[in-house]
Chain A
Amino acid sequence: MSEIEIRELTKKFNVKEHTVTALDHINLSIEKGDIFGIIGMSGAGKSTLVRSINFLETPSEGQVLIDGVDLAGLSEKELRKKRSEIGMIFQGFNLLEQKNVLDNICFPLEIAGVKKKAARERARELLKTVNLEEKEKAYPSQLSGGQKQRVAIARALASDPKILLCDEATSALDPQTTESILQLLKDINEKLNITIVIITHQMSVVTRICKKVAIIENGILVEEGVVDEVFESPKSDAAKELILEKKTQYLPIDNLKEDRNIRIVFQDNSSYEPLVANLILNFNKPVNILKADAKNVGGKARGEMILGLPAGEELQDEMIDWIRQRGLIVTEVKEDV
């Protein structure tokens, strides 16, 4: 049984006289202990999707099952109990500005009726987990963004949740802080075996810590799978666009219209052969390197390169075959990507 099971989930909003379908028959299973990424452009419906997992948004149709329990069948009180077992962190941190760090972390325990002394002990433990012991008396306004998110994570963990939902949790942070927050989430996942669902528009977040990914576009789930595989050979246009992270707009693709552009992904074992040099020597024709990048995907090094091939369809096909024979994954990059 999956820890989170989403079946035929549809959410419609009424905006004046129009009905907007934010989510359209989404099916998704998230297993215990996974770090699951849900990625999409803004407005794709991913925030609505994550809010459906703890019923902050009530679905129009379909079901959400947590540990096999259908949330729609719960009473108001049972639902609140269930929500306390699902931690959540946000892009805007959403800390109580008038309470200090310690009281913020105690807050979910206070709601659950835990005695003050026990709550404070637990909060201090959690401050240790997120490395902020010295800030217990500080107020949120005195903290940096990264520190605020650490407090929010400690607060989300206070009630011992089995699931942690992250809604664009690193989008307001700079790259270094993002990295440290992601590392913290990964540690928490490993140490406490908490299932983590990450909503983001940044592919780098997904490739950094997620095991599995789902791609949402216009309320529809267009692609889903293991991060490695989706990164190596994205099938949907949305996935390709997200993986290229729009950097293509800086590429001089317009000037290379007759050419064919391909994307190659290198794995650890393929980085030794001087591929481009050998390709040129072999065919005696120039190729144009449009982009080259290295990424850390799930702890493994992955190289990525976009090549502009010389004219001649037959030659291009031969070149692609030659690269494929060397165990590399090749996908075509269209002009409009």
Chain B
Amino acid sequence: MFDEKVIQMILEGIRDTLYMTLVSTFFGYVIGLPFGIILNVTKKDGLKPNKIIYSIGDFICNIIRSVPFLILLILLIPFTRLVVGKSYGSTATIVPLVICAAPYIARVVEASLNEVDAGVIEAARAMGASNLQIIFKVMLVEAKVSLLNGVTITTGILLGYSAMSGTVGGGGLGDIAVRYGYYRWQTDIMIVTVVLLIVIFQIIQHLGSFIAARTDHRKR
């Protein structure tokens, strides 16, 4: 039903979509994980409360999160050009995806760390653990399952956002859907890309849940 060219294009679309999603999730965590830890530790009843640091972090988080992604994508064009040299294509899309994801990831991490039993943290303090040891050896370890679930949710969201970036030439399956489905009225190609996005999302979600359940030792 499709010629070789179209199939080739769709395969490249899958590759670009996965590339954007996974790389932006990774860099999102590089920024968002420490950001989330800082938010959790400096909050009012955190390990080392610090009102000034928390308020600044909280403010930055809320500002970025309240800008719709599509607008952020456009607003960041000069910055993207500065970082990767151009403002279109899948590599360029990763920049706004990371900026958008980082504060979201920070919130997810902050919430995951909140779930760690205060009694376990107290026990570690009683053993003479330092705050850094408590963060890395107690909180991150005990919150592991919740953090992994957070990764799954974030990856799913970034998959959707990467497709959205197709409207401004971001590459990947979203780009194909917009160019062929919207501008050229080739509904069949659009349907194929949408189905592929659904399949990729399902795989991410199931794989994530599976890994999280496998590593959970709380109940068995």
Q: Using a Cβ cutoff of 8 Å, how many contacts connect chains A and B?
A: 76
Pair A80/B119 contact, Cβ less than 8 Å: no
CA distance A274 to B51 in the complex (A): 71
Shortest Cβ distance from A168 into chain B, in angstroms?
12
| Residue among A83, A110, A112, A142 making CB contact with B126, cutoff 8 Å | A83
Q: Is B127 in the interface zone, CB < 8 Å from A?
A: yes
Binary per-residue interface labels of chain B (145-166) against chain A in the complex, 1 for a CB within 8 Å, 0 otherwise: 1000000000000000000000
Residue from A81, A88, A159 whose CB has the most chain B CB atoms within 10 Å: A88
Q: A96-B138, A97-B218, A98-B144 are in contact. Are A80 and B130 (CB under 8 A)?
A: yes
What A residues does B144 contact at CB under 8 A?
Answer: 98
Shortest Cβ distance from B199 into chain A, in angstroms?
32
Q: Tell me the residues in window 57-115 of chain A with beta carbons closer than 8 Å to chain B beta carbons.
A: 80-84, 86, 88, 90, 92, 94-100, 107-108, 110-112
| Residue among A80, A99, A100, A140 making CB contact with B128, cutoff 8 Å | A80
Question: What total of chain A residues lie within 8 Å of the partner, measured CB to CB?
Answer: 29
Q: Is A141 in the interface zone, CB < 8 Å from B?
A: yes
Residue from B128, B142, B215, B216 whose CB has the most chain A CB atoms within 10 Å: B128
Shortest Cβ distance from A101 into chain B, in angstroms?
11
Q: A97-B217, A97-B218, A100-B217 are in contact. Are A90 and B129 (CB under 8 A)?
A: no
CA distance A54 to B123 in the complex (A): 11
Q: Tell me the residues in window 161-215 of chain A with beta carbons closer than 8 Å to chain B beta carbons.
A: 165
Shortest Cβ distance from A256 into chain B, in angstroms?
46
CA distance A314 to B217 in the complex (A): 70
Shortest Cβ distance from A75 into chain B, in angstroms?
12
Pair A141/B217 contact, Cβ less than 8 Å: yes
What B residues does A95 contact at CB under 8 A?
Answer: 120, 123
Majority secondary structure, A binding face = mixed
Pair B128/A84 contact, Cβ less than 8 Å: yes
Question: What total of chain B residues lie within 8 Å of the partner, measured CB to CB?
Answer: 25
Pair A83/B119 contact, Cβ less than 8 Å: no
Q: Is A315 in the interface zone, CB < 8 Å from B?
A: no
Closest residue on chain B to residue A100 by CB atoms: B217
Closest residue on chain B to residue A142 by CB atoms: B220
Q: Is B133 in the interface zone, CB < 8 Å from A?
A: yes
CA distance A165 to B125 in the complex (A): 14
CA distance A165 to B145 in the complex (A): 31
Q: A108-B128, A111-B133, A141-B218 are in contact. Are A98 and B123 (CB under 8 A)?
A: no
CA distance A141 to B217 in the complex (A): 7
Pair B137/A110 contact, Cβ less than 8 Å: yes
Q: Is B84 in the interface zone, CB < 8 Å from A?
A: no
Q: Is B219 in the interface zone, CB < 8 Å from A?
A: yes
Pair B120/A94 contact, Cβ less than 8 Å: yes
Pair A139/B217 contact, Cβ less than 8 Å: yes
Binary per-residue interface labels of chain A (127-171) against chain B in the complex, 1 for a CB within 8 Å, 0 otherwise: 000000000000111100000000000000001000001000000
Pair B123/A99 contact, Cβ less than 8 Å: no
Shortest Cβ distance from A91 into chain B, in angstroms?
9
Q: A111-B128, A139-B220 are in contact. Are A98 and B142 (CB under 8 A)?
A: yes
What B residues does A56 contact at CB under 8 A?
Answer: 122, 125-126
Q: Is B76 in the interface zone, CB < 8 Å from A?
A: no
Binary per-residue interface labels of chain B (57-76) against chain A in the complex, 1 for a CB within 8 Å, 0 otherwise: 00000000000000000000
What A residues does B141 contact at CB under 8 A?
Answer: 96, 98-99
Pair A98/B128 contact, Cβ less than 8 Å: no
Q: Is B31 in the interface zone, CB < 8 Å from A?
A: no
Pair B128/A94 contact, Cβ less than 8 Å: no
What B residues does A97 contact at CB under 8 A?
Answer: 117, 120, 142, 217-218
Pair A83/B125 contact, Cβ less than 8 Å: yes
Q: Is B124 in the interface zone, CB < 8 Å from A?
A: yes
Shortest Cβ distance from B61 into chain A, in angstroms?
27
Pair B120/A112 contact, Cβ less than 8 Å: no
Shortest Cβ distance from A133 into chain B, in angstroms?
20
Binary per-residue interface labels of chain B (103-143) against chain A in the complex, 1 for a CB within 8 Å, 0 otherwise: 00000000000000101101111111110010001100110
Closest residue on chain B to residue A103 by CB atoms: B141
Shortest Cβ distance from B145 into chain A, in angstroms?
8
Closest residue on chain A to residue B131 by CB atoms: A76
Shortest Cβ distance from B92 into chain A, in angstroms?
39
What A residues does B137 contact at CB under 8 A?
Answer: 107, 110-111
Closest residue on chain A to residue B145 by CB atoms: A98
What A residues does B128 contact at CB under 8 A?
Answer: 80-84, 108, 111-112, 159
What B residues does A86 contact at CB under 8 A?
Answer: 126
Can you list 18 A-B contacts (CB < 8 A)? A56-B125, A80-B128, A83-B125, A83-B128, A92-B119, A94-B117, A95-B120, A96-B142, A97-B142, A98-B145, A98-B217, A99-B217, A107-B124, A110-B137, A111-B128, A111-B133, A139-B217, A159-B127
Which 8 pairs across A and B sit closest by C-beta, in order of nearness? A84-B128, A94-B123, A83-B128, A80-B128, A88-B126, A139-B217, A94-B119, A108-B127
Known contacts A56-B126, A96-B141, A98-B218, then 7 further A-B pairs from the complex at CB < 8 Å, ordered by chain A residue: A80-B130, A88-B123, A90-B119, A94-B122, A96-B138, A100-B217, A141-B217
